[in-house]
Structure 1
């Protein structure tokens, strides 16, 4: 792989993750410059994401794989900037190889169910015995202690359901609303990266490694708790408010004649601008709308005024009018338009996804690293590897194994 002069350059990560939550964490760390060695199970076709339809083929996108070179879009996004080696961790001979790799690594990231790494003999205690400075980051549904609800299966929708987040969207009385974006799978890895980087600083200063334990349920529920929903309900502000946020009125999404838009005008000056924009300057000094508390009390009426004004007007006129009066406003984009935003593309916050053989498929974009450094590099341009593509290189470079020894391990089913 090409040299990445990111702030984590020189750090070696053993990546034991699969699916989305764990691989997203190691993707971010790889984008920051770490050398990420993805260890995959050869008996199951590697990371489960390799078998997620659709696939990029020589003929473009397809729902089915027809050639060994075809690669799932999921792996193309999550596997960037990583090396792949195979290691059958259920084989008795694999543990020594893994621990030898851990001796030279700085970080391990895993997202097995609680208890699995201990059964395999590669848990934090086992690793600490060979490398006391190593940071061992675990991402699981409910935490390393294994306490769970129900059967303990930690899928994103299960975590959304348990966290309460499904009851924060929609209108009062609506069924639970599942977020289309897998927020449970994406929030936990970001906290895992924060914890890992904090542990790196500690280890660099003290020589002491540690176990970083992050739960999907705790991560998402902690965000739900950022808003005092119980307290709001106790004073009559409903938990679920649909398109509007009455306690910040005028605030929410509205419909124009040809699309949806959002305005956020909670301050006196913004609210005054909103009233003037909808040709109701006569209400700007009205006691019903002159203060924040008054607007909250009369939120339904205020939002109705805006909705009625906007409904018959084209989007361009609506946006221009609110902007001219200093009101924060934006169109509600679909995802295709959002990922093609010139600014986010320019800042590499969204980037084209490239197949290692077939190149870029028009319209295929993925997450970049949404952090820009004034000195350090940040890069996610290296295509995802084929399963086991770097096995021989890793074993030769890190463990000094020669080709005959590697061949024997492969013949024995260790690799």
Structure 2
């Protein structure tokens, strides 16, 4: 590989996804250099995120679409480095075109409800018949086997079922929805890991296969990193609130001008906290001398830290704790966090641009948070208009002529 090239260059991905979980997976593959062909339904206006407010256009940012040229910020972020082709896969002619594309592809990614792709005739079995080396990634709420009822799931449904909503918040308080759509974002990470593993398998002489990732499974698997069932059996708190008693001192503490996050569960870090408070003798106090004793007296310990932090600014608190080698940071608002110089310099957050008008307002979106010592990665092409590359792909990849394309369009297949 030549230095500066993207590692997945030359790989062709057929992107059947919509909304967030699937499009984020294919965004990552696109950022790593794959040619991602986004297949959208012309009858429904394409990816559902094309209709997510807010919108960016010639006049800047607005809460509703003012003209046909305005594009959803969601799709501007999620469709970068992708090509868009329209296919109405409910029509047999469109399905035939799709299966021709599969012959030229390496990877298919879909996030339909379980069973939908098979009913359309574009599932894993249909695809492997035309290309045995195809890697077919399915991201769904509950897995390819389906689930009771509709089997459909949104992020909030998965958060509710996973138990995550009862990990945050004070004990006995209402369940708390995590502000980020964590299920929609975790499942595609596992899907990409699975896809890349399957790519290696094919390169080593193996066959193509289906990569099946469940949103519920991904989120619940991570939840189980913490032994919540053991905590419950021992009578330990399972909800953390702003402090985490079983790791005291640990949590969020009020400052005179905001909040500070403090993580000091070890003896060394705890001693640093006591020095910052001006009470180094607490390190020898029988209540706080060891980790277990600090946990047993967490309420008293955290109350003393509250009293101290409330008298100082976040800047003062972080500086005093850093001087003692204690991990601490101000609690930022999201808008402040995404303009951090470090993540900007590393390209982990970037400015988004309208494909026609450029950056008519400052709007941020995800970069590719992976840096290679030799390879390139990231996004250098704007999101496409719906169906922008249909004719080009049919001509160059499948060899269709203008008459064939016109006939497909006339019949409603495109």
Q: Provide the TM-score with structure 1 as the length reference.
A: 0.97
1:384 and 1:86 map into 2 onto residues whose CA distance is 15
Asked whether the equivalents of residues 58 and 360 of structure 2 are also in contact (C-alpha less than 8 Å), the reply is no
Cα deviations by residue, 1:240-288 (Å, 9 ceiling, x for unpaired) = 1310111111010101000101010011110000011111112111121
User: Which residues in structure 2 correspond to 1:260-339 (within 5 Å)?
Assistant: 260-339=259-338
Asked whether the equivalents of residues 61 and 361 of structure 2 are also in contact (C-alpha less than 8 Å), the reply is no
Asked whether the equivalents of residues 17 and 112 of structure 1 are also in contact (C-alpha less than 8 Å), the reply is yes
2:151 and 2:128 map into 1 onto residues whose CA distance is 27
Q: Residue 204 of structure 2: SS of its match in structure 1?
A: helix
RMSD of aligned C-alpha atoms? Answer: 1.1
Asked whether the equivalents of residues 264 and 328 of structure 1 are also in contact (C-alpha less than 8 Å), the reply is yes
1:383 corresponds to: 382
Q: Residue 185 of structure 1: SS of its match in structure 2?
A: helix
Instruction: Decide which moves more: 158-167 or 372-381.
Output: 372-381
1:324 and 1:233 map into 2 onto residues whose CA distance is 37
2:308 and 2:140 map into 1 onto residues whose CA distance is 49
Instruction: Decide which moves more: 171-180 or 281-290.
Output: 281-290
1:36 aligns to 2:36 (yes or no)? yes
2:391 and 2:221 map into 1 onto residues whose CA distance is 42
Q: Residue 171 of structure 1: SS of its match in structure 2?
A: coil
1:73 aligns to 2:80 (yes or no)? no
User: Which residues in structure 2 correspond to 1:57-72 (within 5 Å)?
Assistant: 57-72=57-72
1:178 corresponds to: 177
1:5 corresponds to: 5
Asked whether the equivalents of residues 170 and 242 of structure 1 are also in contact (C-alpha less than 8 Å), the reply is yes
Cα deviations by residue, 1:383-411 (Å, 9 ceiling, x for unpaired) = 10000000011111110011221111111
User: Which residues in structure 2 correspond to 1:203-222 (within 5 Å)?
Assistant: 203-222=202-221
Instruction: Decide which moves more: 352-361 or 210-219.
Output: 352-361
1:253 and 1:382 map into 2 onto residues whose CA distance is 40
2:411 corresponds to: 412
1:109 aligns to 2:109 (yes or no)? yes
Q: Residue 355 of structure 1: SS of its match in structure 2?
A: coil
Q: Residue 260 of structure 1: SS of its match in structure 2?
A: strand
Q: Which runs of 5+ in 1 are unaligned?
A: none
Asked whether the equivalents of residues 274 and 327 of structure 1 are also in contact (C-alpha less than 8 Å), the reply is yes
Q: Which runs of 5+ in 2 are unaligned?
A: none
1:52 corresponds to: 52
Asked whether the equivalents of residues 59 and 360 of structure 2 are also in contact (C-alpha less than 8 Å), the reply is no
Number of aligned residues: 411
Asked whether the equivalents of residues 5 and 375 of structure 2 are also in contact (C-alpha less than 8 Å), the reply is yes
1:86 corresponds to: 86
1:232 corresponds to: 231
Cα deviations by residue, 1:322-373 (Å, 9 ceiling, x for unpaired) = 1111111100000111000101000000011111111114331001111000
Asked whether the equivalents of residues 353 and 361 of structure 1 are also in contact (C-alpha less than 8 Å), the reply is no
1:406 and 1:29 map into 2 onto residues whose CA distance is 28
2:400 corresponds to: 401
1:202 corresponds to: 201
Cα deviation for residue 151 of structure 1 reads 4.1
Cα deviation for residue 317 of structure 1 reads 1.4
2:154 corresponds to: 155
Cα deviation for residue 230 of structure 1 reads 1.3
Q: Provide the TM-score with structure 2 as the length reference.
A: 0.98
2:5 and 2:135 map into 1 onto residues whose CA distance is 21
